[in-house]
Structure 1
């Protein structure tokens, strides 16, 4: 679904759901000024078209024992499409890797990892990065303070 296919009602629905996905259909409909059946139909359409990928609960890493955040740059030795895809598949299977981006100009990948402590990071780094034959360079930055975290997409 392209940006032009979203009308103002869709944008209001998306803005509200990004703030609070627990809103009932009735409450959401009232806030966007449409009938509940219309609202439900629009939300379903946004899901079907992939505009809304999923609804989740955002958990505080510190409160569940995963308070160390690492931002990891990975450079591979071989950058062929099959090598890049293989690395992405491996990272998809790593629970501590919460985000994986293929990037241009610089490293091949930037990852965000959540681990309990440095010992857990070292185990992850060995298992997922240095033990892999195709990883040339790993550079990790550890967060000392998170001043902003938002999952909303500007509309």
Structure 2
């Protein structure tokens, strides 16, 4: 990854809706070169996807929970089974396998407390390998960024 790729990534992380022409002007490269580089970054998996970031306070999802999950059995197969089950649950936005403490930390976004309660019964109690669930509810979001620092 060279300096041009890094400049492209910085611009796209800031505003992925830029036209190729506008992007090429901002990174000081020709439009065909810029288009080729963006496609390469996508093919290499550096750019995973392009999305719109929605303000959850302006749509139905308004309750954010940070959930710690400890599994009963901590094997590679058990971790994989839990991670596979996570993918089908749309209100679990992020999942991290962590060390020293719980096995997973999840970022969950639901409409309200009854919706969270339904998630607990639908997902966590259905998982036979879940030993402990500890939830923290956000009262204020101080910072939210999606940009990855690029040297």
TM-score interval, smaller chain? over 0.9
Write the distance in 2 (CA, Å) between the matches of 1:38 and 1:115.
42
Aligned length in residues: 150
2:31 maps to 1:31 = no
Runs of 4+ in 1 over 4 A off after TM superposition: none
Where 1:114 maps in the other structure, the secondary structure is: strand
Write the distance in 1 (CA, Å) between the matches of 2:57 and 2:17.
23
- Give 1:110-149 correspondences, 5 Å limit: 110-149=105-144
After superposition, give the CA deviation of every residue in 1:87-128 in whole Å (9 maximum; x if it has no partner). 111111001100011111110000000000000001101111
Q: Of 36, 41, 50, which residue of structure 1 is paired with 2:45?
A: 50
Where 1:111 maps in the other structure, the secondary structure is: strand
The corresponding residue for 2:98 is 103
After superposition, give the CA deviation of every residue in 1:59-97 in whole Å (9 maximum; x if it has no partner). 111211101000000000011111111111111100110
Write the distance in 1 (CA, Å) between the matches of 2:2 and 2:130.
45
Runs (5+) with no aligned partner, structure 2: none
TM-score by length of 1: 0.95
User: How well do the aligned residues superpose, as a CA RMSD in angstroms?
Assistant: 0.7
